[in-house]
């Protein structure tokens, strides 16, 4: 490799300020890349709605200053045309290839790493114009997600268009990243030149320090105080169904009547409260919190179990909360409907237990964990530090960048 990676990272229609996922997987990863000394300069190009850019202009200025201290340049462009959900707006999406090309030329980038499908399409076109390396990082099956969210029809032309684009992205990219082994293997079968498994991970150092001080003070001893079930994430009928949350909490309450449910979400929790009332559960047992990504370790303190599920079976998803629960030393209560490697890891490494809400005996495992909570908590935290820390993500991405650039040098 003749020169180090000079990275252009691109996001499209994603809020890098308020999203806990992007804070960990983009902002912190890029910062750690730069401090590693193994990568050249980094430019983060974020294309997002002008309303958001104006409303959050002060916060963006603070983020720009923070990133500049790590040698990262933040460039913001307004997304003047809505997210491309129809054929009418699709040509407008392609216009954003131009600013990516201009930024690539101005800052002499040699690799483009776009996040997601829309950014991936723009990155592929810009990389072709610039003649530089292109990494496709889909993070999730966007066409299928849009069908699940009832935005597209699976037999419709927009879905078919994006599946065709997906095929081109997979085949034309110098490397493709999958968040699960199944996703990576699918890329191999569809003609990817190089496919790698890079899961969503957590910044374990932010959690481990808090956990140690809490253990020493005794606040993490679950034999003292009520059992507390924690859920983190958005609430919707497709992905994080409030009914399923209520069903699991009802099963927990039957074993531990004084149990509490802590919901960390920006969404309204009325649907969860309504489901609990239908089951005769006192809604005073529910604690609702929200906060910034930086506040998450503090908000998670003291929970007994982290509820981990998806209302739909998608093997190509790896929620970041899986890593965050474990990094905080919180054993998992995994819904029996979950599939994929995270569930297998929980069973193999004894990081929690798997249960179905309508099978009361499944929850007997709670008692063993609560009676030996410190042991289980430390096991979870150690596993996260070994396998799920974002410093591993940083090393993987730098290795991928260097490999593809070495290939281009030949």
Query: Of all helices (H) and strands (E), which one includes residue 50?
Result: helix 50-55
CATH number for position 48:
3.40.50.2000
User: Residue 1 domain-assigned?
Assistant: no
Q: What share of the chain in percent tops pLDDT 70?
A: 89
Number of domains in the chain: 2
Residue 110 sits in the same domain as residue 14: yes
Residue 178 sits in the same domain as residue 287: no
pLDDT for 58 beyond 60: yes
Residue 62 sits in the same domain as residue 108: yes
C-alpha distances (whole Å) from 82 to each of 12, 50, 78, 100 are: 11, 10, 10, 18
Residue 251 sits in the same domain as residue 348: yes
pTM: 0.87
Using an 8 Å Cβ cutoff, are 51 and 18 in contact?
no
pLDDT of residue 145: 83
Span 234-251, pLDDT tens digits: 887 667 889 999 999 999
pLDDT for 213 beyond 50: no
Residue 208 sits in the same domain as residue 330: yes
Q: How confident is the model at residue 284 (pLDDT cuts 50, 70, 90)?
A: very high
User: Residue 53 domain-assigned?
Assistant: yes
Residue 165 sits in the same domain as residue 256: no
Give me the mean pLDDT over the 142-154 stretch: 84
Q: How confident is the model at residue 217 (pLDDT cuts 50, 70, 90)?
A: very low
User: Residue 134 domain-assigned?
Assistant: yes
Query: Domain of 268?
Result: 204-387
For the ranges 52-56, 352-356, 384-388, the lowest mean pLDDT is seen at 52-56
Residue 294 sits in the same domain as residue 283: yes
pLDDT for 155 beyond 90: no
pLDDT for 216 beyond 60: no
pLDDT for 63 beyond 80: yes
DSSP-derived secondary structure letter, 25: I
pLDDT of residue 119: 92
Residue 18 sits in the same domain as residue 158: yes
DSSP-derived secondary structure letter, 295: G
DSSP-derived secondary structure letter, 28: I
| Of residues 329, 378, 335, the one with CA closest to residue 354 | 335
User: Residue 2 domain-assigned?
Assistant: no
pLDDT of residue 389: 94
Residue 153 sits in the same domain as residue 299: no
Residue 272 sits in the same domain as residue 332: yes
Residue 308 sits in the same domain as residue 242: yes
Compute, in degrees rounded to 10, the torsion defined by CA atoms 287, 273, 235, 354: 80
Q: What is the mean pLDDT of the chain?
A: 86
User: Residue 275 domain-assigned?
Assistant: yes
Q: How confident is the model at residue 75 (pLDDT cuts 50, 70, 90)?
A: very high
User: Residue 124 domain-assigned?
Assistant: yes
Residue 131 sits in the same domain as residue 216: no
**Residue, of 271 and 216, whose pLDDT is higher:** 271
pLDDT for 69 beyond 60: yes
């Amino acid at each position: 490799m003749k020169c180090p990676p000079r990275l252009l990272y691109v996001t499209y229609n994603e809020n890098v300020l308020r999203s806990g996922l992007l804070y960990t997987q983009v902002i912190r990863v890029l910062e750690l890349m730069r401090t590693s000394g193994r990568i050249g300069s980094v430019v983060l190009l974020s294309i997002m709605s002008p309303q958001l850019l104006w409303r959050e202009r002060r916060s963006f200025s603070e983020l720009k200053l923070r990133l500049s201290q790590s040698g990262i340049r933040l460039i913001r462009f307004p997304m003047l045309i809505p997210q491309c959900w129809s054929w009418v707006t699709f040509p407008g999406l392609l216009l954003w290839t131009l600013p990516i090309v201009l930024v690539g030329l101005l800052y002499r980038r040699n690799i483009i790493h776009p996040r997601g499908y829309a950014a991936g399409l723009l990155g592929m076109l810009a990389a072709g114009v610039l003649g530089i390396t292109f990494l496709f990082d889909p993070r999730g099956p966007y066409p299928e997600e849009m069908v699940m969210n009832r935005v597209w029809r699976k037999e419709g032309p927009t879905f078919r268009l994006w599946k065709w684009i997906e095929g081109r992205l997979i085949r034309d990219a110098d490397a493709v990243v999958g968040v699960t082994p199944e996703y990576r293997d699918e890329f191999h079968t569809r003609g990817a030149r190089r496919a790698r498994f890079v899961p969503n991970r957590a910044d374990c150092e932010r959690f481990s320090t808090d956990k140690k001080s809490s253990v020493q003070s005794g606040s993490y001893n679950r034999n003292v105080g009520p059992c507390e079930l924690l859920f983190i994430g958005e609430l919707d009928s497709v992905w994080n169904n409030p009914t399923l949350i209520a069903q699991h909490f009802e099963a927990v309450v039957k074993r531990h009547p004084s149990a509490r449910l802590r919901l960390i979400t920006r969404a309204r929790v009325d649907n969860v409260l309504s489901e609990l009332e239908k089951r005769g559960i006192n809604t005073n047992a529910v604690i609702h919190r929200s906060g910034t990504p930086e506040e998450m370790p503090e908000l998670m303190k003291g929970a007994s179990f982290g509820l981990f599920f998806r209302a739909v079976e998608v093997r190509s998803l790896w929620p970041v909360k899986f890593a965050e629960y474990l990094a905080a030393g919180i054993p998992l209560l995994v819904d029996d409907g979950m599939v994929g490697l995270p569930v297998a890891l929980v069973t193999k490494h004894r990081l929690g237990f798997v249960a179905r809400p309508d099978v009361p005996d499944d929850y007997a495992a709670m008692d063993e964990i609560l009676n030996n909570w410190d042991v289980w908590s430390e096991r979870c935290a150690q596993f996260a530090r070994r396998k799920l820390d974002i410093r591993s993500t940083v090393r993987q991405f730098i290795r991928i960048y260097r490999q593809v650039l070495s290939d281009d040098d030949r």
